[in-house]
Each structure stands twice: as structure tokens, then as C-alpha cells.
Structure 1
Amino acid sequence: MAIQDLVNGVPTPPETPFEGKVVKPVHYSTYPSPLPAQQLARLKAHLNSLENPLLKHMHLSRIRRSDPDLFFAALKDDLNQMAPLVYTPTVGEACQKYSHIYTGPEGLYLSIDDKDRLPEILQAYAATLSRIPQIVVVTDGSRILGLGDLGIGGMGISVGKLNLYVAGGGIDPNGTLPVVLDMGTNNQTLLDDPLYIGLKRPRASLAEAESFMDTFMDTVSTLFPTTVIQHEDFYSEAAFLFLEKYQKKYRMFNDDIQGTGAVILAGFLAAARKASALSGLPLKDHKVVFLGGGSAAVGVAKEMMNFFLMEGLSEQEAKERFWLIDTKGLITSTRTDVVTDKIAGHKKYFIRYDTEGKEYKTLSDVIEYVKPTALVGLSTTFGAFEQPVVRRMAELNKAPIIFPLSNPTSKCELAFSDALEWTNGKVLFASGSPYSPIVYQGKLREAAQGNNFLVFPGIGFGALMAGAKHVTDGMITASAIALSEAMTPDEESDELLYPRLDRIREVSARVAAGVVLAAQKEGVDTTERLRGMSWDKLVQEMLDSQWHARC
């Protein structure tokens, strides 16, 4: 029987009237209709049959495009297992192999070759949308995780971040827009790859990129005036330039600089209090050594300064609690590249002027010189925290704070198992990528994950809910404080530094509420109905406003 009509979207056969009898349409489907629970079970079974994380990532990407409700229901059902597949560490490999596994467009691809037509292109695209995006995540692919310049493959990061906005922050997936700005690449492997689908030209200069970004930011903010724009994985010099230039003009923030800073500040608040409780050291006397001098390291250090400011130190005194090491050693005023003004601009803030002309080339040298209470890694160098360094930290401190934060796991400075073994279990540990729990000396130990996932959904959602004119530094710091106060008694008793990911929706609501209150305090909010709400009512408002999958 031929299909003739659609009744409520369901194919139906033609009616055959009989004399004296009214025949109602017969509703049936031409394909099986598994129940939502069956669909979820089938998806899990298929994922379990795939032999490696990349294949699972690829399958989940197809499901996201064809059935968003099922995709996000799967993330909600088992976030701890799914998050590493849709984001770090698997997304790193997916970005590296993007042109080889590409099966279709996932967002908006904008080429610098079309810079003169960019407003026209964006206006035409906006005309096709049924609603204004709530969140835009944009990258130029120039510094993806710790993997470097991956060109157009950076789209995987924009998509991955927005997956987490939906899963963790409750943003409606129909209100998300991933963007990659294709400005070429300096990755010779990609330029030589016949399958590479991005622009095969050297990466645009910073001046060219700035002009392109000026047009992009102005046009997007004009077309979508209520949208929050998140910058992601721009190389250091561009990241700081764009943040400084646009932060007070548009509703935007940089997750690598500000989001990472906020989540590490939250973890450091917890770790420093635990360490001081054991040692008796005043909180203001903690000393922090950073291995890494990129945008993430400088951004994290600047945000962590708020810990010392809250303890009553001046800005100068707070800055002096940090020692930054880049590839040339400790950043000092007498180092050759500093003297000749050839050091990257973003590093200048943390130049040390108190080393009396002596240079410290290695991490071990700096540890002996500073005798820090905390060691933070954002170097993207696997195994950079070697055994002698870690053991020395344990000798110097009753509870050494060690945060190897580089992503993905292949770039992490220190494995959780080694951290426990080399400190005799004394370490207060947080990493950028996930590690499985370990039974050490008869006790189950969980690795804290200083994952931006704990804050950026709340920052973006809070800025949206507040109708913030722009995202202030105070709103970023408020997100860190709200995160640090989101621990449950059980999490505290288990000596965790962060809430568990299975509470991410609740945690994001609390972070968003903190962001809203900060926006109100600074006078940049426009959503009047949220003003004057109690903390509990504001958190509930954030929870009630979250999107949920229908599966």
C-alpha cells in the first residue's frame, strides 16, 4: 500500500471509505520505534563494541548530529565515562586527525581569505537561524590543548566545549554555535597532508589576525547582541591581545586564561587550607612555582593572586609569591631576552627583580632557591616533574601541593600514581586530565581534576542569565569562590579538592549564581528580575533554567 499522507508526522496509508461507515486513519510507522531507554542501552552497547576511544568519539559525533537528545542523555547518564570521549583526552587526537575523520560540517568555518566579505557571510548565515545563539565558542586552532597548531582541526575543540556547556551547564544545544577561524597553519605536517581540508598557507600574522578578529567580534556582537562569546585555544600573544582589547567592549571571556585561572584558584583555595592546617604555615606565606610561561600559565598565576589578595596582601606582595619558569629558565630581570626586550609581552608581569643577577635554568635549581609549597605545571611537557623534584617537594612540605595541569594526558607533567609513590602519599594533587582512583596504602585515593569544565559552563550561563554587558574579572573570581564552596560534606571527608563531576549540573548552577551576584555588584547586569534574590533562590533559578534532554 502506498504511503499517501502524514498524520502528526507519522506516515499513514490512504483511507478506504466504506458505505455507511466512517473509517479513521490507521497510524503506523514504517520503521521500529525503540523506547528511549532502549536507545540509550543500544548506544552504550555499540560504544562498548568499539575498540578505541577515537572510534567512540567519532560515533558519538554522528549521534550528536542525528539525535541530540540521545547524545546528551548519554552524557548525563554516565558523564564520568562519556566526558573523556567527547572532550579531553580523546578530543586531542580527534583534532589532530580532523581532516582524516571529517564526515561533514559541525559549525561555522570562516576563512581569512574571505575577510573582506566576512560581515556579508555572517549576515547571510544569521538569516538562516531560527534563534539567536546563546553561546559561541571560537578558536583559530593555533594552540590546541598542548598539541600546538592544528589549523582547521580546532573545530573539534569548539564543538567539544559546547558539548560540555550543554551537558554541564544546561545550555540548550540549539543555542550553541561552534566556530573555527581558518587563518592558515604553520604546522608543516598539515601543509604537506593531501587530505588536509583547511587553508594551505602559512598562518596569518598577528596584525592580520587582529584585523580579522575585529570584524568578527563586531559583526557577531551586532547580529547576536545577547550572545556570550568564548575564546578558545588561541596562541598566547593573540589570546592576551584579544582579551585585553575585547573584554570591556563585548560579552566575552577567554577560557584558557580566565577559566583555567578560576578552576585552579578554586583548587588552590582548598589545597592551601589543607596544607596550612597540617603545617601551621600562614596562608599568606605560601609560595608557588610555575613550570610554563604561556597564556594559560600567566592567566592562572594572575587569577591565583586573588588568593593572596584575600589574605590581605597588596598586589605587589601577591605577585611576589609566584616564580615562573619558561623554556629558558626562571624569568628574571637580568636574563638576556628580558634585558634586550625580546621576551613575550604577557610574561613581563611576573619578571623577578630579586635574584641579584643569578640565573636559575632548571626546575630543580628553582625548587632549591625558592623552596615552594606549591608546584604548578602548564608546560605541555610529559613527565617534566621528575622523581627528584617531586621527592624534594615532599621533603620541603608536610603536604606538597602539586598540580600538573597540561592536557591531554600525553602532555601531563606527572602521573597520579607517581605523585603518590614519590611523596609517600602526602601529595595534594590536581591534574588537567582525568586519572582513575588508586588504592594506595590500603586507602582509595581520588585524583582531583582541575578541569575547566567545572567553571566555564557556569561562567557562560551566569553571564547569560545576568544579561551582563561584559564579563568582568570580578565575575571570574566569583566563579572560583563559588566552586570552592560547592563541596559536599562527603567530598570534604574524602579529602577532595573539587566536587565530583556527577554533580556538575548543581555545581554549574552555584557557579552561575556566583557570577550573577558579581555582575549585580559591579553594575553590569541587565536582568532586573534576579536582583535581590536570596542565594538559595538564585541557585534554584539557575537550576530551573537549565535545558534537559527528552530521552
Structure 2
Amino acid sequence: MGSGYSLLRDPQYNKGLAFTQQERDSHYLRGLLPPAVVTQQLQEKKLMNSIRQYEVPLQKYIAMMELQERNQRLFYKLLIDNVEELLPVVYTPTVGEACQKYGSIFKRPQGLYISLNEKGKILEVLKNWPERNIQVIVVTDGERILGLGDLGCQGMGIPVGKLALYTALGGLRPSSCLPITIDVGTNNEKLLKDDFYIGLRQRRATGQEYADLLHEFMTAVKQNYGEKVLVQFEDFANHNAFELLAKYGTTHLGTASVVLAGVVAALKLIGGSLADHRFLFLGAGEAGTGIAELIALEISKQTKAPVEETRKKIWLVDSKGLIVSSRKESLQHFKKPWAHEHEPVKDLLSAVKALKPTVLIGSSGAGKTFTKEVIEAVTACNEKPLILALSNPTSQSECTAEEAYTWSEGRAIFASGSPFDPVEYNGKVYHSGQANNAYIFPGFGLGLIISGAIRVHDDMLLAASEALANQVSEENYAKGLTYPPLSNIRQISANIAANVAAKAYELGLATRLPRPENLLKHAESCMYTPAYRNYR
């Protein structure tokens, strides 16, 4: 910890006007600050006032990022205490726009940038990062940022935002989190011509060159931070994501677990067990097939039927229509398990009419695809259809909350990936849930860390979903909500962490021994809190 002038410029230790008179004396700060001494509460009040003055979400995002650069504890204090208001600012949907404009709004680099220029030197680059004890790395190559496509080096907004949530919502120490962007170029013409673009000005490297860089990266990470470091791949394009997952065995932690939890919770509102329902997906990429597989696993766990059987309750539609067995030859390998016996069906509407699903899930990345006809058709065969429009940001959502409630005449149970305001229909107010992966991944990460899990097992994802579904209260159900309010997120994360850690110990994948007596208390005690420290 520095003294005086440098202390005020170190976001990890700076407290601004909250330094006491005694601290100002002992750390050579006297005269460098105006005379007032204020509390963190008052600082928070002042900043929330000023952030609320901004009309444009991107300005709020910039204000939050500048605060993170200036005073880390205050940044987390704001985020934790105002999570419902600020989550959409530091994460989806605003983070998408921030990535598109990252080159123009970029002030100070956060995290590590590893480009093709660093080939052969990645271990040295990791050593340039000041923190030694890293527990979680979130990495992107910027090829498929949310529903916005290839943003190259400017995808850094995603790892930075995601790790801010690991800390605020999951209680991981900020110093143990490392955001990384791997820059192998971009195929986005607009960025290549943009004077303010901050990445390599070349088309994307592919094939061997790409694979070699990622292999060097993963090897250097394990060498520098040990085997237990948690590496989360974010927003890689499908063709690379599947190969990376097969090779490095990480998982799409958040999305699938959150969706499963929402579906399990929704059963209280729509009735029946998971196995009684028929699922239809629009979108058969990594998100869609990942969610489908987790639902099939949970049904298999509940009914003891083999997963090959339980997959038959789940159907997927891609750009060419329903995935059926006659298409098997031409399908990518990850779609094959979903090719069931059925005559070909050309589009979503015809699939809804033919299959009469009880649950409709959108993971297509394409907005406005749940049309009035589709929602009317799914409502015609269900008393209470469950409709999940998961694509982000808001502009890419398959339908809006208002459309879902209006077109289903108020009968749908609806949740979405991006937040929607409550909707009034026929004099009744409908609240929709947000299937936000921020419910799961911070607590999941904490569970892996407190147990020292050496790898992720599907049962740990199921344990996380069950823990989340159990947090939905009667009061939430009464409003038609299938997720608990985000304002309780730290408590939810602690519960998820305890459940995930318990599963890791049970499966023999935990390395932090002996196992703590009470995992929930242990999880809570490990969580970072952003209150100021007193300096001697």
C-alpha cells in the first residue's frame, strides 16, 4: 500500500473523503483532500444521485467504470446495495452497447489483452499482471458477443462485467479475478475501418494458428495459477466453443442452470412434474443444446429413465426447421442427439402446431421470432404455456413481455434473458422473471472455489439449479415470478455455493479437506464485503 498522493490513485485502497483525520496524518494525505470527512454511506448516496441524473444507460455504464477505476470498494458497495438498478447497467443489456463502442469510451485498460503478437510469450504476459493469486479467469475472443456478433478486441467489456458480478454477487475477492481478451483479429469490416478500434487490424486467424494460441494460453494459465484456477470461456463463436469445451472440459455454467431452475420453479405455476412436459426450442446452438441436455439430465435423475429416452421430450428448431432423424446425415454433431422420429417440419409455427409443446424456449439470438401466431398457437394447446425468450440484449429477445402477455390473453408464464418492466393487461399487472445467468455463475464459482473442485460435473450444475429454484418464495409465485428477486442475490449465491460444494465433496472432486461442518456458514464467511478498512 502506497502513501499520500499514490494512495489516492490506487483504486484498491483509495477511500476519497472517507479517510479519517488520523489516517490523513499517518499516510501523508493532509492537504491532499478537502477538510470534510464523510462516511461510505454518504459517498454512496451522492454517487447514486449523480448516476440517476444520466438519461442514457451508456453514460451510467461509463460513470460506473470510472468509479471502479477510482475506488474499488465504493464501486462494489453501489453494485451490491442497488443490484436491481445497476445490474442492467454493468451487465446485459448495456454492456453490449459498451462493447460496440469500447474503442471510443475506453479510458484505462482493465484485464489482460493477449493477441497474436504475444505468441510464444503468453506466460511472460501473465506474469505482468500484478496479482499472483488468481482464482477465476473469464476469457473471450470477442467473436460472438451476446447477439451482436464479432466485436474483436472490444469484447473485453464482457469479461470485465462478468467478473464484477463474480465479486458483487458471489463474493469473490476482486484481486482474485482476471479478465482476459484473446485478440486474433476481427472479421467486422466496420471495426477494421474504425480509427478508434483498439485491436489487431487483421482478419481472424483460424485453424492451426488459432488452436496453437489457445493451447499456449491454457498451458500458461495452469502453469502460472495452478490446476484449480477456474477458466470460464465467454462469447466464443459456436464452431470454436464446442471444440474448446470438448478439449478443455469447461462448461457453459450460467445459462443452462438458470433456465432449468426457472422451469423447475415454474412447475408450481403450470403444474405437473418435469417429465410431464414437452419442450420446444427455437435455436440449436451451444446455448440451446446445453439447456436441452441439462433438462434431459434432470428428468433422467428424477425418473431414473436413461437420458437417451428423456431427450425425446425435447425438440429443437434451427434455421432449416425441426431437427428430425431424416436430417441426421447433414447435422452438426451436437445437434444429432436431438434428431427424433418425425416428418420434416419447415418452421417454428408448424412445429408448435404439430408437437403442441407446453414449454417454448427461445435461444436463437434472433429478435421478434415468437410472433403473434406462434404465441397464439402455443396458448391454444395449454392452459398456462411457459414461454422463455432468452436472447440478449433486449433488441434480440424473441418477444417482449408485453407481447407474451397480450397475445396469450394473460395466460403465459413468461421469463426473458433481458429485463422487462411489469406489464398491465386487462387491469392486472404481470411481473416477468429474468433468466439471468447472474443468478447462477457467481454462486457456482464460489462453490467450486470453497471446495477446491478440480473439475465441473453435470450433477453440480443440477445442484445449482435446484438451489436456485428452492429460493423462489410463495410471495414471488403469487406475482407469477419464477425467479427470486435479485435484491437477495448474495444470499442466493451463498446457498448455491453451499449446494455445489456439497455435491463436489460427495462426488470426490473436492480438494479442500477436511470438509467444513456447515457449508452455508462457510460460504458466507468467505464472501468479500466492500466496507472500508481502517488503515493504521
Letter in 2 for 1:223: N
Answering whether residue 295 of structure 2 is matched by residue 304 of structure 1, we say yes
Answering whether residue 303 of structure 2 is matched by residue 320 of structure 1, we say no
Q: Which position in structure 2 is the counterpart of 1:494?
A: 479
Classify the secondary structure of the residue corresponding to 1:325: strand
Answering whether residue 389 of structure 2 is matched by residue 404 of structure 1, we say yes
Task: Extract unaligned runs of 5+ from structure 2.
Answer: 8-20
Q: Which position in structure 1 is the counterpart of 2:339?
A: 351
Aligned partner of 1:521 among 506, 524, 532 = 506
Kindly report the root-mean-square deviation, in angstroms, between the aligned alpha carbons of the 2 structures. 2.2
Letter in 2 for 1:344: Q
Alignment check: 8 A CA contact 1:288 1:372 kept:
yes
Of residues 30-39 and 308-317 in structure 1, the stretch that sits farther from structure 2 once superposed is 30-39
Q: CA deviation at 1:80?
A: 0.5
Alignment check: 8 A CA contact 1:237 1:346 kept:
no
Distance 1:529 1:441 in 2: 57
Answering whether residue 266 of structure 2 is matched by residue 271 of structure 1, we say yes
Which of these two proteins has the greater Rg computed from alpha carbons? Answer: 1
Q: Which position in structure 2 is the counterpart of 1:232?
A: 234
Q: Which position in structure 1 is the counterpart of 2:525?
A: 544
Letter in 1 for 2:293: K
Answering whether residue 60 of structure 2 is matched by residue 56 of structure 1, we say yes
Q: CA deviation at 1:201?
A: 1.2
Q: CA deviation at 1:345?
A: 2.9
Classify the secondary structure of the residue corresponding to 1:435: coil
Q: CA deviation at 1:211?
A: 2.0
Q: Which position in structure 2 is the counterpart of 1:187?
A: 188
Q: 1:376 to 1:207 in 2, by over 3 A?
A: farther
Q: Which position in structure 2 is the counterpart of 1:147?
A: 148
Answering whether residue 163 of structure 2 is matched by residue 162 of structure 1, we say yes
Classify the secondary structure of the residue corresponding to 2:514: helix
Aligned partner of 2:357 among 350, 356, 372 = 372
Distance 2:334 2:510 in 1: 30
Alignment check: 8 A CA contact 2:269 2:477 kept:
no
Distance 1:30 1:405 in 2: 48
Alignment check: 8 A CA contact 1:11 1:28 kept:
no
Q: CA deviation at 1:35?
A: 2.6
Q: 1:205 to 1:470 in 2, by over 3 A?
A: same
Count of residues in Structure 1 that have an aligned counterpart in Structure 2:
512
Letter in 2 for 1:192: K
> What are the within-5 Å matches in structure 2 for residues 281-296 of structure 1?
283-296=274-287
Q: Which position in structure 1 is the counterpart of 2:368?
A: 383
Distance 1:13 1:110 in 2: 37
Alignment deviations for residues 278-336 of structure 1 (CA, whole Å, 9 cap, x no partner): xxxx642311111112111111111111232123332111111111111111123333x
Q: CA deviation at 1:120?
A: 2.7
Q: Which position in structure 1 is the counterpart of 2:175?
A: 174
Q: Which position in structure 2 is the counterpart of 1:134?
A: 135
Alignment check: 8 A CA contact 1:258 1:300 kept:
no
Answering whether residue 116 of structure 2 is matched by residue 112 of structure 1, we say yes
Distance 1:396 1:174 in 2: 52
Q: Which position in structure 2 is the counterpart of 1:43?
A: 47
Q: Which position in structure 2 is the counterpart of 1:19?
A: none
Alignment check: 8 A CA contact 1:11 1:30 kept:
no
Letter in 1 for 2:525: D
Distance 1:64 1:283 in 2: 43
Alignment deviations for residues 351-404 of structure 1 (CA, whole Å, 9 cap, x no partner): 23x12xx42121111111111111100111111100011011111001101100
Q: CA deviation at 1:500?
A: 0.9
Distance 2:323 2:205 in 1: 29
Classify the secondary structure of the residue corresponding to 1:10: helix
Q: Which position in structure 1 is the counterpart of 2:18?
A: none
Distance 1:502 1:549 in 2: 16
Distance 1:13 1:70 in 2: 20
Q: CA deviation at 1:46?
A: 1.5
Distance 1:13 1:486 in 2: 46
Distance 1:430 1:240 in 2: 27
Distance 1:86 1:414 in 2: 23
Letter in 1 for 2:503: A
Alignment check: 8 A CA contact 1:237 1:344 kept:
no
Q: 1:290 to 1:30 in 2, by over 3 A?
A: closer
Letter in 1 for 2:51: L
The TM-score, its normalising length taken from structure 1, stands at: 0.89
Q: CA deviation at 1:545?
A: 1.3
Classify the secondary structure of the residue corresponding to 2:398: coil
Q: 1:201 to 1:482 in 2, by over 3 A?
A: same
Letter in 2 for 1:370: L
Q: 1:312 to 1:495 in 2, by over 3 A?
A: farther
Distance 1:283 1:264 in 2: 13
The TM-score, its normalising length taken from structure 2, stands at: 0.91
Q: 1:58 to 1:185 in 2, by over 3 A?
A: same
Q: 1:468 to 1:13 in 2, by over 3 A?
A: closer
Q: Which position in structure 2 is the counterpart of 1:450?
A: 435
Distance 2:113 2:243 in 1: 22
Letter in 1 for 2:338: F
Q: 1:29 to 1:101 in 2, by over 3 A?
A: closer
Of residues 208-217 and 393-402 in structure 1, the stretch that sits farther from structure 2 once superposed is 208-217
Distance 2:513 2:213 in 1: 35
Alignment deviations for residues 40-70 of structure 1 (CA, whole Å, 9 cap, x no partner): 1221122122220001101110101110111
Alignment check: 8 A CA contact 1:168 1:508 kept:
yes
Classify the secondary structure of the residue corresponding to 2:271: helix
Letter in 2 for 1:549: P
Q: Which position in structure 2 is the counterpart of 1:21?
A: none
Distance 1:328 1:258 in 2: 28
Q: 1:171 to 1:321 in 2, by over 3 A?
A: same
Q: Which position in structure 1 is the counterpart of 2:256?
A: 261
Distance 2:194 2:435 in 1: 35
Alignment check: 8 A CA contact 1:258 1:303 kept:
no
Alignment check: 8 A CA contact 2:265 2:472 kept:
no
Q: 1:208 to 1:330 in 2, by over 3 A?
A: farther
Alignment check: 8 A CA contact 1:269 1:307 kept:
no
Q: Which position in structure 2 is the counterpart of 1:202?
A: 203
Q: Which position in structure 1 is the counterpart of 2:469?
A: 484
Q: CA deviation at 1:348?
A: 2.3
Of residues 537-546 and 517-526 in structure 1, the stretch that sits farther from structure 2 once superposed is 537-546
Distance 1:316 1:433 in 2: 32
Distance 2:49 2:231 in 1: 36
Q: CA deviation at 1:482?
A: 1.2
> What are the within-5 Å matches in structure 2 for residues 426-441 of structure 1?
426-441=411-426
Aligned partner of 1:10 among 24, 36, 39 = 24
Classify the secondary structure of the residue corresponding to 1:230: strand
